[in-house]
Amino acid sequence: MNRWNEYATKVLQGEQLTNEEALTVLDCPDDDVMLLMHAAFQVRKKYFGKKVKLNMIMNAKSGLCPENCGYCSQSSLSKAPIETYRMVNKETLVKGAKQAYELNVGTYCIVASGRGPSNKEVDHVVEAVKEIKELYGLKVCACLGLLKPEQALRLKEAGVDRYNHNLNTSERNHSNITTSHTYDDRVNTVEVVKQSGMSPCSGVIVGMKETKQDVIDIANSLRVLDADSIPVNFLHAIDGTPLEGVHELNPLYCLKVLALFRFVNPTKEIRISGGREVNLRSLQPLGLFAANSIFVGNYLTTRGQEESEDYKMLQDLGFEIESVEEMRESLATN
């Protein structure tokens, strides 16, 4: 048995990798990566079989953000030429849900820029979610920034199933990425989400000048935080942002990161998220041997792969899309 299969066996027996073992995953020799992904797939297969969850983003409010996150084209520091607009109307939010339903996307993600939502914005999302639930029965994820407990309860009562608030990077590296809010601010929002009864979604952006130890630390932090869904983003450096021109990643390293996140968080939804097209490139399909979820369509201010190409990729892999009906049954039993 090779080392990677030993790690898979250890994880499936309910044990955690040591820090040294986690580092060997990120340091996996390139000619061993296929063996590593095979081992990661044993863990993925145990908990998710060959199912893939599909997610779609609606950029409900773009730009105009006072925060100074170095990776973001919508931040106060960004000079990127993006479209900016206030919260879109309810009809647009519902229309996006209709598109997601027609594409057999199980989770519809309503994302708005800003430090956190106003009560008026929460009211607006609440009204849209009620209609979306009535018409399409989709799982709805909201991502509106730092959240107050009473706002979280309102979203939960309206039918929001999941709330996303990424930790993005390790606690040690956080101040290198943004200083307009703290790492603890982000952790506290995830805790507020959990207390409300919504499912917590929190993830990472890899490729922001962090160390391998930072990647291990954030994977473990998300395990401790008990995030149900973990988006793994790979930095898509946008011209006009402070991280413009940062290109530290390559496809094989991205696969090693995905394998690490599967080993550290074996039972959780691991989603290949923003930047997969430009960082994994032709190796995108291999990422799904560790991850069990992807976004389809565009991201917030960058374009994604054509939906038809994603469906072809999943078909070629022999994977099965978790249908909207299956998603509804899952929600009913949880």
Q: Please answer whether residues 291 and 270 qualify as being in contact, where contact means their C-beta atoms are separated by less than 8 angstroms.
A: yes
Q: Please answer whether residues 286 and 30 qualify as being in contact, where contact means their C-beta atoms are separated by less than 8 angstroms.
A: no
Task: Measure the CA–CA gap between 166 and 295, rounded to whole angstroms.
Answer: 15
For residue 40, give both structure tokens.
Answer: 């990661």
* Residue 332's pLDDT band (cuts 50, 70, 90): low
Structural domains of the chain ordered from first start: 17-300 (3.20.20.70)
**297 or 112, higher pLDDT:** 112
Task: Measure the CA–CA gap between 218 and 226, rounded to whole angstroms.
Answer: 12
Q: Please answer whether residues 117 and 125 qualify as being in contact, where contact means their C-beta atoms are separated by less than 8 angstroms.
A: yes
Q: Please answer whether residues 142 and 155 qualify as being in contact, where contact means their C-beta atoms are separated by less than 8 angstroms.
A: yes
pTM reported for the whole predicted model: 0.94
* Residue 331's pLDDT band (cuts 50, 70, 90): low
Ramachandran region, residue 235 (left: φ > 0; alpha: ψ -120 to 50; beta: rest): beta
Report pLDDT digits (tens) over 201-227.
Answer: 999 999 999 999 999 999 999 999 999
* Residue 281's pLDDT band (cuts 50, 70, 90): very high
For residue 262, give both structure tokens.
Answer: 């599967």
* Residue 330's pLDDT band (cuts 50, 70, 90): low
Return mean pLDDT, the chain: 93
Q: What DSSP string describes 185-242?
A: HHHHHHHHHHHHTPEEE--EEE-SS--HHHHHHHHHHHHHHT-SEEEEEE--PPTTST
The residues that are catalytic are: 65, 69, 72, 109, 141, 201, 271
If we measure between CA atoms, which residue out of 300, 244, 303, 271 comes closest to residue 113?
A: 300
**26 or 238, higher pLDDT:** 26
* Residue 22's pLDDT band (cuts 50, 70, 90): very high
Report pLDDT digits (tens) over 33-78.
Answer: 999 999 999 999 999 999 999 999 999 998 788 888 888 887 887 7
